Chains A and B, each alone.
Chain A
Amino acid sequence: MSIPGTLKTIASVLVLAALIALPFWSPDFWTTNIFVRSMVYGIVALSLTFLAHYGGLLSLAQMVVAGVAGYTIAVSVPGAIPANSLQLPYAVAIPLALVLSTITGLLIGAVAVRTREIYLLMITLAIAVSFYFFVQASVEYLNGYEGIRNVLGPDIFGVPLRTPKIFYFVTLAISLALYVLVLYLSRAQFGLVLQGIRDNPRRVAALGYNVALHRIAAFGVAGFIAGAGGVLITIFNIGISPGTVSTHSTINILIMAVIGGLGRPIGAFIGAIIFTIVDTFAADLYDRDRFNTLIGAVFIAIVVASPDGVTGFARRVTELLRKPFQIPAAAAAPDQLIEANVPSKG
């Protein structure tokens, strides 16, 4: 293993250790309402980042997919109010929700896939807004404007999932698993083809790959990820209502992903935590009434100053700091420099 590789591993282990230790010193409020909340929304943002970065597909319909999963458990589990006739245990309802959200992702992909980037953005936004109006109008099945409440989540080894530490670790484990899934896919053949399509669809098509099918599959994967987020969001909010899938929420997910940086999957979670902290403490930082002006200004500032978000900014800063220690010729490409050094040592 190379030295930077080792450093990376050490850093990852340290971050992981910190994440595991976190709920033991943080107050419950922070554990649940900052960290868990960041992660559950961060998962949906991750699905957006996955599509945007590896597929070049900026979709605003990820909250729709999450909503499908959320509403699925809300209309099927016991305890939910208004009561449903299905009364499925969570062990059945959650996989069902994930299947339906994946299918929804595939369907959205099928509708949107024949169009280009910016068209895609418009179509998915139109889908998102229509979905919001739909759930609000569906009084018979989804209880309209009020939504469905008292979705408490399953018990984990006899302890309610919503117990702060339990909820934290479950959410952390799911977030990590989905994050690793995204990293794995990006290196697997599927991900490589997808990135090829992003950069040059014609060439990839000429190589014999079915471009449309790969894109639709990407939407399916993103649907699965967002669906997992949707299930957790619903349990986190103890229910789901049209507000959860409103235009506002859709834009919030986009803001999280962009603040964190669309260039890296981890950006989704970093963006989510920044957003959550600003959202929670806006009343203390700034006039609560004008919170939207604050978040809008932060958003524009990031888009203007660092389009690749906080992670992109951080990368540039580290590169800048590294520069003095590099031989000038290789300064522009630190990765090459590292690779060139390794064999000489061996």
Chain B
Amino acid sequence: MTINPNRRQVLKGTAAIAGTAIFAPAVHANPAPIKLGTLASLEGPLAVNGQDAYRVVELLLEEANYTAGGRKIEWIRESSNAKPDVALARTRKLVEQDAVDLVLGPLSGAEGIAVRDYSRTVPTKTFINGSSASQDNTLRNASPNYFRFNTDGTQWTAGLGEYAKNEQKFDEITVVASDYAFGYSQVFGFSLEYTRAGGKINYLWTPFGTSDYTSLIAQIPASSNALYVVYGGSDGLAFLTQYAQAGGKLPLLGGTLLADQTLFAARGPHRQVLEGTISAAPIGDHYDNPVWKDFLARYTKRWSKDIGQQTPGTLAFAYSANLQATLLALKAVDGDLSNDQAAFREALKKLTFRNYIDAEVKLDHNRQAISDNFLNKVETRDGRLQTVVFKKISNVNQTLGFPEDKYVALGAPSRANPGNVKL
């Protein structure tokens, strides 16, 4: 199942086009191609998301004709397995061996922090995030040459806590979540909003990669009005299936990766309980907006022969926003990466653009995106499950509108610090 052409094919294509350019009038002093290195997980537990991310990257680069700011782009694709030391080794290879100018990636939280730490040691290169969504990539110990044009895992929960308390009138919610950083960041954001609105929360944590949830399900307090389910991928599938089989009836609120294409694509009884789930995310599959519809149509047209009608997931979307920003900034500086990329980085900082779901993106002083978030409901549309947008929350910043000093003082989200406080 080779979905993407391999690097050699891409290189060949680039060389052929570059060859014809020799006779064209020289526009730039430096006609060498810009080397863009990308990193996503094609091995390990997040391989599905990595493939999805590369489909988006390839689509956008093809649409740009592998050109930005008048210079060719040479795309060098690397892969990791969602583990930080592997991500670090591959990034070093991109920077030190392949001599890329820009790095786009990686995919997951801990990898992102490893790459962010590394970026500080190579100040002459620029690092643009892929879909890594931990707060700390940018909120604490930010690195001057690390940019993130996607919102983080906590921002992705914006709007859900208030909606659950004020609209759905749930007074007590039980959180079931994976015991790792992404789970913490989502629970943190949800808890802050929900607690402020006056709700009561119970927490049940399970180790990442748990496959048997029957004992956990037995522990859900009978007084709960709803469940907030922060599982993704295989964990989410296992939990929902077993919850359905146990005859669970509580309304569900979903973490961003629960109400996601990867779970909708799988078949089974979990679909019955998923239907009607309310979740918050930076995208929704079904959103009545021409920019978004056009993007989905282009994606489907390019990839339907490989993956059918599946649309890009949240993580792939994050790659699209980051790549879009990269290409726009390259255009703004006419491909000028001289002077240790100073002008390019200035252009990135100043950038304000509308991403492919037509949400405005701008950066804060930590080079972290401020953008919109969506509340979705899982419904059957066109014969398959989709998230349907019903509410937009505009301009969500990294501290969810709380004063930054107070927010940072709360400390990083963790099992002991799930955000169950009134700010």
Hey, which bits of chain A sit against chain B, CB under 8 A?
A: 27-29, 32-33, 37, 81-82, 133, 136-137, 139-140, 144-147, 149-150, 237-244, 246, 248, 279-280, 283-284, 287-289, 291-292
Let me know if B42 is at the binding interface, CB within 8 A: yes
Of A136, A137, A149, A283, the residue contacting B84 (CB under 8 A) is A149
CB distance from A238 to the nearest CB of B (A): 6
Question: Contact between A146 and B42 (Cβ–Cβ < 8 Å)?
Answer: no
- Alpha-carbon distance A145/B111, docked complex (angstroms): 11
CB distance from A78 to the nearest CB of B (A): 15
Let me know if B141 is at the binding interface, CB within 8 A: yes
Overall SS of chain A's interface: helix
Question: Contact between A144 and B85 (Cβ–Cβ < 8 Å)?
Answer: no
Known: A149-B117, A289-B2. 19 other contacts (CB 8 A): A29-B93, A33-B92, A33-B97, A136-B180, A137-B179, A139-B414, A146-B110, A149-B114, A150-B117, A238-B114, A241-B83, A241-B84, A243-B84, A243-B85, A244-B83, A279-B89, A284-B7, A291-B79, A292-B43
Of A33, A147, A149, A287, the residue contacting B6 (CB under 8 A) is A287
| Residues of A with C-beta under 8 A to B139 | none
Question: Contact between A147 and B207 (Cβ–Cβ < 8 Å)?
Answer: no
| Residues of B with C-beta under 8 A to A240 | 85
> Known: A139-B179, A150-B117, A283-B78. Is A237-B88 also a contact (CB below 8 A)?
yes
Question: Contact between B415 and A139 (Cβ–Cβ < 8 Å)?
Answer: yes
CB distance from A137 to the nearest CB of B (A): 5
Question: Contact between A145 and B181 (Cβ–Cβ < 8 Å)?
Answer: yes
> Known: A29-B97, A139-B414. Is A147-B81 also a contact (CB below 8 A)?
no
- In the complex, the chain A residue whose C-beta lies closest to that of B95 is A29
| Residues of B with C-beta under 8 A to A239 | 84, 114, 117
- Alpha-carbon distance A150/B119, docked complex (angstroms): 12
- In the complex, the chain B residue whose C-beta lies closest to that of A31 is B96
- Alpha-carbon distance A137/B206, docked complex (angstroms): 9
- Alpha-carbon distance A28/B181, docked complex (angstroms): 34
- In the complex, the chain A residue whose C-beta lies closest to that of B7 is A283
- Alpha-carbon distance A56/B223, docked complex (angstroms): 59
> Known: A33-B93, A137-B207. Is A288-B179 also a contact (CB below 8 A)?
no
Let me know if B208 is at the binding interface, CB within 8 A: yes
- In the complex, the chain B residue whose C-beta lies closest to that of A292 is B43
Question: Contact between B181 and A146 (Cβ–Cβ < 8 Å)?
Answer: yes
- Alpha-carbon distance A240/B117, docked complex (angstroms): 13
Let me know if B416 is at the binding interface, CB within 8 A: yes
Question: Contact between B179 and A81 (Cβ–Cβ < 8 Å)?
Answer: no
Which 6 pairs show the lowest CB-CB distances between chains A and B?
A: A243-B83, A29-B96, A145-B180, A237-B85, A146-B110, A29-B97
Of B77, B114, B134, B414, the residue contacting A288 (CB under 8 A) is B77
Question: Contact between A136 and B208 (Cβ–Cβ < 8 Å)?
Answer: yes
Total B residues in contact with A, Cβ cutoff 8 Å: 36
Question: Contact between A145 and B7 (Cβ–Cβ < 8 Å)?
Answer: no
Would you give 6 A-B contacts (Cβ < 8 Å), ordered by A?
A: A139-B415, A145-B208, A237-B114, A248-B81, A288-B42, A288-B77
Let me know if B333 is at the binding interface, CB within 8 A: no
| Residues of B with C-beta under 8 A to A145 | 110, 179-181, 208
| Residues of A with C-beta under 8 A to B179 | 137, 139, 144-145
CB distance from B204 to the nearest CB of A (A): 15
| Residues of A with C-beta under 8 A to B181 | 144-146
- In the complex, the chain B residue whose C-beta lies closest to that of A37 is B89
| Residues of A with C-beta under 8 A to B73 | none
Of A81, A243, A288, the residue contacting B78 (CB under 8 A) is A288
- Alpha-carbon distance A283/B43, docked complex (angstroms): 13
Let me know if B113 is at the binding interface, CB within 8 A: yes
- In the complex, the chain B residue whose C-beta lies closest to that of A289 is B42
B103-117 at interface with A (beta carbon < 8 Å): 109-110, 113-114, 117
Let me know if B229 is at the binding interface, CB within 8 A: no
- Alpha-carbon distance A147/B117, docked complex (angstroms): 14
CB distance from A125 to the nearest CB of B (A): 18
- In the complex, the chain A residue whose C-beta lies closest to that of B141 is A81
| Residues of A with C-beta under 8 A to B93 | 29, 33, 280
Q: Mark B388-423, 1 if CB is under 8 A from A, else 0.
A: 000000000000000000000000101110000000
CB distance from B140 to the nearest CB of A (A): 8
CB distance from B122 to the nearest CB of A (A): 11
CB distance from A229 to the nearest CB of B (A): 14
- In the complex, the chain A residue whose C-beta lies closest to that of B415 is A139
> Known: A137-B207, A150-B117. Is A288-B96 also a contact (CB below 8 A)?
no
Q: Mark B291-325, 1 if CB is under 8 A from A, else 0.
A: 00000000000000000000000000000000000
- Alpha-carbon distance A130/B342, docked complex (angstroms): 48
Let me know if B163 is at the binding interface, CB within 8 A: no
| Residues of B with C-beta under 8 A to A29 | 92-93, 96-97
Question: Contact between B207 and A82 (Cβ–Cβ < 8 Å)?
Answer: no
Let me know if B287 is at the binding interface, CB within 8 A: no
- In the complex, the chain B residue whose C-beta lies closest to that of A248 is B81
Question: Contact between A241 and B77 (Cβ–Cβ < 8 Å)?
Answer: no
Question: Contact between B180 and A241 (Cβ–Cβ < 8 Å)?
Answer: no
- Alpha-carbon distance A238/B372, docked complex (angstroms): 35
Q: Mark B102-144, 1 if CB is under 8 A from A, else 0.
A: 0000000110011001100000000000000010000001000
- Alpha-carbon distance A139/B178, docked complex (angstroms): 12
Let me know if B86 is at the binding interface, CB within 8 A: yes
- In the complex, the chain B residue whose C-beta lies closest to that of A150 is B117
| Residues of B with C-beta under 8 A to A279 | 89
- Alpha-carbon distance A153/B219, docked complex (angstroms): 45
> Known: A33-B92, A283-B78. Is A291-B43 also a contact (CB below 8 A)?
yes
- Alpha-carbon distance A139/B78, docked complex (angstroms): 30
| Residues of B with C-beta under 8 A to A136 | 180, 207-208
- Alpha-carbon distance A279/B80, docked complex (angstroms): 11
| Residues of B with C-beta under 8 A to A82 | 412
CB distance from A105 to the nearest CB of B (A): 22
Highest count of chain A CB atoms <10 Å: which of B85, B93, B207, B208: B85
CB distance from A308 to the nearest CB of B (A): 29
CB distance from B258 to the nearest CB of A (A): 18
CB distance from B74 to the nearest CB of A (A): 14
CB distance from B109 to the nearest CB of A (A): 7
CB distance from B301 to the nearest CB of A (A): 24
| Residues of A with C-beta under 8 A to B85 | 237, 240-241, 243-244
- Alpha-carbon distance A280/B79, docked complex (angstroms): 11
Question: Contact between B42 and A133 (Cβ–Cβ < 8 Å)?
Answer: no
- Alpha-carbon distance A146/B179, docked complex (angstroms): 11
Q: Mark B243-257, 1 if CB is under 8 A from A, else 0.
A: 000000000000000
| Residues of B with C-beta under 8 A to A244 | 83, 85
- Alpha-carbon distance A162/B48, docked complex (angstroms): 35
Of A137, A238, A241, the residue contacting B118 (CB under 8 A) is A238
| Residues of A with C-beta under 8 A to B113 | 146, 149
| Residues of A with C-beta under 8 A to B81 | 243, 248
Of B83, B92, B109, B117, the residue contacting A246 (CB under 8 A) is B83
